[in-house]
Structure 1
């Protein structure tokens, strides 16, 4: 027995040493390297550049800098750029991407997402940034009060978009020659509680210096903490100056996130971005800007002004100016309210008057995760589904499959600079859709209830149907299905344009080309004839997902829509 026990102890010791050696062998080396995270958008591994400091200590919390690359670039180059390492003389980006040069050790973790290539930092790319951030927090000890965001050109614009749409994540922003997406400027009030340092060249031929100066002036007028460095005679490559000698890290090191600022000023037009710090907007009209300015004027006393919203929650627990031992006094839009609060105070407007009542949005109403617009159907996991319910001929089957393939082709070759967007959603026939697909993905459905069995499955739920004989019309609309969306495209595909007209002139420029890119500026629905250039009616569903009467009447007048 003693002999057997000793053998067992010896085996346990050997196994312990083996596993310990394996754990050490699997630890990451310091310096620059590439990691991946699994993306549920298209079941792919997505890469990001990572820098770990020398003598990395897993028991110590580290500040994190996220660096966003510009158009035509990638995560490997971005990691070099933020450490001030530009290409060598006559070295191409392709050549520079193949290796990491030596650089000064810094006590930071630094990460640069690939974010699918050149598509801006909204939609899938935006999700990738936050998925990468979640992966980093799971792997490494991140100090969440010292998370910083920077980027150049397209990445500078992404810095403004990500930083202002979710301001309570970041401790400071450093946009370099930024080209922000449309809709970012209205979020400028959200920069109240972190510093922003702009860098730009006064001879930039790509991003006009005047636009950046306007940003600086606007933030100054809003009493935000803003700095601006402009380089005389420097063109679009101002990042070479901004990131020289790792200077941006020294600037970042001055700042920590304030989790409980005395004042929160927040603007948004989406439930997707409905909270900042201790304020959450509980009711708004998607597509219309809602604003709130909430501040402590004394312990347990607040002043709040709002516009464009119907309900709000103030989560006060943990704030140094809040005590649950006595009532909270709130003046909101001139209305005085006194309430006993343990952790959060819910306020809602009824008949134009504010009261202490939580607003509950039903499943039939627009709400977080169910608000549109059309582009939200392709901003996460989604599948393109063509119909076979009417037993099409082999030729028709191939045509329908080709249509869905074309819609799902994010990876269009856009030339040697922009290259391809690396997103690969699936294409299925209606007969191939599995219960797991229905439970996990948004569905992009082509055809009508007569030709696509998935459309037929949800036909009682859906508000619009196009007459199958209306071959010269196209109908496109988004509609909620539980926690996911369906995007219905009946008749002509949405990328049908007038001959030789090119993309619709009503759309703003975006880096994302092809059918996915054409969805980015649409609202909740559009009916067109002959081509998307010829819109009959387009707009947003109301808060109860019903169509406004005027638009419904226009659709009915065509004689091809069943409401």
Structure 2
């Protein structure tokens, strides 16, 4: 069966029943030793607390695992600082430690896999002690690791090197970036067991990166950051042709391929989305709308709303004939047709939630063909149709949407090109940047043409344009910025919403961040108890669900380096937390011992607490967050990956009582970080 979109490349699926088959950078390596010491202390706590889980190790096995973990940690601490890629050995220690602490024994081979990780770790350490690489790279699959800039945690990924790969060669290889499906028994140890030491992907002429994604979060938020951090690490270690990177996945991985593929369409030579959800309401079978703020927040990750971006990257989607997730592929097909962009669809005859062999072969042939062709070199395609709802996803090839008139309202760019002239039409775009070398001339709507080579003195790689509400009427408000104006715009001295500084609260936890706890006298004991409890809950859930540990400092220990490099997450009130007291007058609220005033409303401070995200008054290029971690809680995380969307927008007030905290008000700030009453 086959359903090509109008104008789409036709891809034929088998007609018989088939057999079943599913940038941030590094931290310095020198910080690893200190982190391992901390992990040793933390991981020694609570190991023998038990939950009656299947496949729990017996007493002898448990003693062996505890001893093995301690030995790994001790041996890692003894490695010289000059040892390269200690992350590749230390990840074994981290993997086992998290598994033991969280009692993760659901997998039938869990104990055997845990014992094996000790062996792998010790072998890697011995190589480092001998001055050799921890992992001797050769054709086959290897689990490697990097240290995340977000929280300094170690995160694994798997790389498959094809039979033709040789160390030290000068050839640049195409890459397949693969996103796994949801698995409730997945952890770092099982990830090792699934990949490390296995033969290379059969008949591959590419390097393959299988990301871990910090577990099961549909590659959203810090899971998305993991994709790009792992990709950056692979690019550092191997010669990758950046024009030939294919992205694909199945099930949860298919959902991830939809959103990463359509929201970053200029990164991939092609995208393959197998059986992945694209719309919250349809996927969850919910007919009643969510609260307004939450409904708006769905615009961040509902891929169906980004169908226009299919114009910029070739995409193939697959669904089994009897798989309920075929509905997602069909929904994307309808969305593609409605905006007249191509999409190739495969339907597996007689299949449920899996590939048939013939469809998989066609699916992979599509990716391989486009990978061989690669994305065009700069300036590439000058005709673009790019769509976004948030500045989190603001770039396509030579174009960046720098500011919106209204957040979470569709922003769109359409461009045409002829005879050296680039014509750009916009919707809900307040500022944009155009790469200087894309054309000889550019015109934004009715703005007279601008010679790009000479614009703004010809001194910056991009040319900036802004639209002012009360600007030149004859130019529809658009004007080009001069060189000095461009520098001021880049500095964002007025702290407008920009990419990486657009909210909501959850966005702060996709970047390097630091928890700052108060050490002073709280204004209200009730709120202080809640803040302490909430901070502990965030730390516990981050540890289990995002596979890292929060870095926490007292307000008195905060230093300039942290202020300059990290988002600050402040818990407490202006009495207990000196940093809150320092910034409170520059935040969009008034907080006294008696009342909290925000958004034109007043609340008693004795049983209410403000939570918000805002440009940090101490460093406006970073966020400050009050009294909140990620707004998705553990019980929601367990439901389905589709529930992994923000709950509170940019700011909220919570009422605190014995049962916890309940939102009584929330809002999304405008593009100038103002609360509109």
Q: If the TM-score is normalised by the length of the shorter chain, which range does it land in?
A: 0.7 to 0.9
Equivalent residue for 1:222, pick from 334, 339, 356: 339
Task: Say if 1:93 and 1:280 are closer, same or farther in 2 by CA, change over 3 A.
Answer: closer
1:353 correspondence with 2:353: no
Task: Tell me the alpha carbon deviations over residues 526-546 of structure 1, each in whole angstroms, 9 at most, x when there is no partner.
Answer: 124358996443212233322
Q: After superposition, give the CA deviation of every residue in 1:328-360 in whole Å (9 maximum; x if it has no partner).
A: 263x43x15122220754333233432333662
- Residue 200 (1) aligns with residue 325 (2): no
Counterparts in 2 of 1:476 and 1:215: CA distance versus 1, 3 Å = same
What does residue 34 of structure 1 align with?
Answer: 143
Asked if structure 2 preserves the Cα contact closer than 8 Å seen for 1:123 and 1:380, the reply is no
Gap change, CA 1:225 and 1:432, over 3 Å in 2:
same
Aligned 1:132-531 pairs, distance under 5 A: 132-180=230-278, 182-205=301-324, 207=325, 209-238=326-355, 242-243=359-360, 247-248=364-365, 250-259=368-377, 260-284=380-404, 285-296=406-417, 298-317=418-437, 319=438, 322-323=439-440, 328=441, 330=443, 332-333=444-445, 335=446, 337-342=448-453, 345-350=463-468, 351=471, 352-357=476-481, 360=489, 361-390=492-521, 401-411=532-542, 420-469=545-594, 470-481=605-616, 482=619, 483-489=621-627, 511=641, 520-530=646-656
Corresponding residue for residue 545 of structure 1: 673
Question: Helix, strand or coil: the match of 2:586?
Answer: coil
- Deviation track 1:297-346 (CA, whole Å, cap 9, x = no partner) reads x12223322110122232241x4xx34xxxx263x43x151222207543
Taking the aligned partners of 1:464 and 1:525, their CA distance within structure 2 comes to 10
Deviation of the 1:512 alpha carbon? 9.0
Higher relative contact order, structure no. (Cα contacts within 8 Å, ≥ 6 residues apart): 2
Q: Secondary structure at the match of 1:291?
A: strand
* Structure 2 portions without partners, runs of 5+: 1-129, 280-300, 595-604
Cα distance in 2 between the residues matched to 1:496 and 1:191: 29
Mapped partners of 2:557, 2:529: distance in 1? 15
Q: How many angstroms does 1:508 deviate by?
A: 13
What CA deviation, in whole Å up to 9, does each residue of 1:234-262 have, x standing for no partner?
11123776545994554444541124103
Distance 1:74 1:300, change over 3 A: farther
Say whether the 8 Å CA contact 1:388–1:397 is kept in structure 2: no
What is residue 18 of structure 1 aligned with on the other side?
none
Secondary structure of the equivalent of 1:479? strand
Aligned equivalents of 1:28 and 1:101: distance in 2?
A: 12
Q: Which residue of 1 aligns with 2:3?
A: none
Structure 1 residue 150 displacement after superposition: 0.2
Aligned-residue offset at 1:384: 2.5
- Contact kept, 8 Å, 2:139 with 2:199, in 1: the verdict is no
Note the aligned Cα RMSD (angstroms).
3.8
The number of aligned residues is 486
Give a deviation string over 1:158-179, Cα, whole Å, max 9, x none: 1111111111111100011112
CA contact (8 A) 1:410 1:423 kept: no
Q: Secondary structure at the match of 1:70?
A: coil
Secondary structure class of the residue paired with 2:497? coil
- Aligned equivalent of 1:65, options 167, 176, 187: 176
Structure 1, 384-393 or 179-188: larger mean CA deviation: 384-393
Q: Is the 8 A contact 1:404 1:427 kept in 2?
A: no
Deviation at 1:264, TM superposition (A): 1.0
Query: Per residue, is there more strand in 1 or in 2?
Result: 1
Is the Cα–Cα contact under 8 Å of residues 528 and 572 in structure 2 kept in the other structure?
no
Runs of 4+ deviating beyond 6 Å: 21-26, 73-77, 92-95, 391-399, 493-497
- Cα distance change, pair 63–472 in 1 and its aligned pair in 2 (3 A): same
Q: In 2, Cα distance between the equivalents of 1:471 and 1:184?
A: 42
Q: 1:288 to 1:538 in 2, by over 3 A?
A: same
Unaligned runs of 5+ in 1: 1-20, 78-91, 414-419, 551-563
TM-aligned CA distance change 1:239 to 1:112, over 3 Å: farther
Q: Alignment partner of 1:459: what SS?
A: helix
Query: For 2:614, what is the secondary structure of its paired residue?
Result: strand
Q: Distance in 1 between matches of 2:264 and 2:355?
A: 26
- TM-score, structure 2 as length reference: 0.64
Deviation of 1:394 (Å)? 12
**CA pair 485-250 structure 1, distance change in 2 beyond 3 A:** closer
Q: Does the 8 A contact of 2:442 with 2:450 survive in 1? A: yes
Is the Cα–Cα contact under 8 Å of residues 391 and 500 in structure 2 kept in the other structure? yes
More helix by share: 2
Q: Is the 8 A contact 1:474 1:494 kept in 2?
A: no
Q: Within 2, Cα distance between the matches of 1:524 and 1:34?
A: 38
The answer on whether the counterparts of 1:200 and 1:229 sit within 8 Å (CA) in structure 2 is yes
2:161 corresponding residue in structure 1: 52
**Cα drift, residue 48 of structure 1:** 0.4
CA 1:289–1:74: 2 relative to 1, 3 Å: farther
Shift, 1:279, TM fit = 1.5
Which stretch of the first structure deviates more once superposed, 282-291 or 29-38?
282-291
